[in-house]
Amino acid sequence: MLASLLLNGNDMMNLTVNIGMAKFQNPVAVASGTFGHAEKYYDLAEVKKLGAVVPKTVTLNAREGNPPRRIVETPSGMLNAIGIENPGADGFIRDKLPPLQKIGVPLIISILGHTDEEFVTLAEKFQGRENVSALELNLSCPNLGKKTLVAQDPEATRRVVAAVKKNSRLPVIAKLSPNVTDIAVIARAAEEAGADAVSLINTFSAMVIDVRKRRSVLGNFTGGLSGPAIRPMAVYMVYQAAQKVKIPIIAMGGIMTADDALQFILAGATMVAVGTANFINPRSPVEVLEGIKMYMSKNKVTDIKEIIGSLRTGEAKKQETRSREGNTDAER
């Protein structure tokens, strides 16, 4: 009885969200680099329930990735320095894309170029392909030995986004780095250049040291921190970006549960992506989706759009102002 009521409730709920011209049946995606070999291991009927899948970042030419060790467990999280190991765009399109297309879930293709032209070439390769709904520009991988990431420079961000937008009919999403002073500035730059959405956050640059060997644990020396350890910082960054941009935000950063995902949605995210949690609880994307539906049904929310950015800020705003004034006093 209760189950049937809930089911009816679900039927009446609208979970669809839009990124540019692309429509997704619900706001829950699987984040880049955390999903593979679905055809062999996954119940594809369950995968099909999700809003979108973002496969691992593709570069123009194949990359063999960073030397081992590539990952290390940290408190409530992990550090990785995979180094965008991938077969290159043509290899990906030949071998990896067809089984993903077969699932029937919308795909957001994550691309990374080493130049603006490479980004454009990559974008062109994915035009008009079945089930490819959008492009995510990875402007923020911390593990490629670059001194500055595109997403650390508003001008570079603007340039890359504008170049791809000019040459792509697919919606363009700029994936941003948390390793910046003010992520809202970069989000604004992406929006001004025509991005259809921003996704945040990529991983935090970080390191773990083996004190016995007096060496960094990772083969790449440094890596990117992900998992629940970074979630509160990610929620704050999404909130900050949401104050400054009108385009949708796809949020990620340590989402393990529906409650985690809802924090991002209330802070202003239109979609959420589950990443690292897939390694711990591979059912988490589906559980997050079910949990969001339960929250909506319990709170009599019929359209997900009603709760996007619906954080109540009255008292908190006053608190924030007070603490800012307090700081100013102290500085004086």
Partner 1 sequence: MPKLQNIYRVVSNEKLCPRFYRLCFDAPSIVRKVQPGQFVHIRARDGLEPFFRRPFSVCRAQKYVEIFYEVVGPGTGVLSLKKKGDPLDVLGPVGRPFDMPPPGIKQVVMIAGGIGVAPFLILSDVLKKKKKLELVLLYGGRTKGHVFNMKEFRSNGCAAHVATDDGSVGTRGRVDKLFAKINPDPKTTFIYTCGPNPMMAAAQKFARQHGIRGQAACEEVMACALGACLGCSIRTTKGFRTVCYDGPVFDLDEVIFDS
Distance from C-alpha of 235 to C-alpha of 79, rounded to nearest angstrom? 19
- Other C-beta atoms lying within 10 Å of the C-beta of residue 166: 11
| Shortest separation between residue 103's beta carbon and partner 1, angstroms | 11
Active-site hit among 141, 161, 230, 265:
141
Residues in touch with partner 1 (CB under 8 A): 33-38, 41-43, 46-47, 56, 64-65, 67-78, 80, 82, 85, 227-228, 256, 276, 278-283, 285-286
d(CA 314, CA 266): 14
Query: Does residue 49 sit in helix, strand or coil?
Result: coil
Q: For partner 1, which is the closer residue by CB, 54 or 162?
A: 54
198 beta partners: 174, 249
- Give, in order, the Cα–Cα distances in Å from 101 to each of 34, 53, 130: 17, 10, 7
C-beta closer to partner 1: residue 75 or 314: 75
Q: How far is the CB of 250 from partner 1 (least distance, A)?
A: 19
141 as an active site residue: the answer is yes
Cβ count within 10 A of residue 198:
32
| CB-nearer residue toward partner 1: 15 or 274 | 274
Q: Phi first, then psi: what are they for 268, rounded to 5°?
A: 130, 5
How far apart are CB 247 and partner 1 at their closest, in Å?
A: 29
CB of 36 to partner 1, least distance (A): 3
What is the Cα–Cα distance from 212 to 195, expressed in whole angstroms?
47
CB 94, min distance to partner 1, A: 18
Q: Closer to partner 1 at the Cβ: 82 or 200?
A: 82
Both structure tokens of 185 = 């500035």
Instruction: Provide DSSP, 78-137.
Output: EEE-----B-HHHHIIIIIHHHHHHH-S-EEEEEE-SSHHHHHHHHHHTTT-TTEEEEEE
Helix (H), strand (E) at residue 47: helix 44-47
Closest to partner 1 by CB, 46 vs 117, is: 46
Active site residues: 141
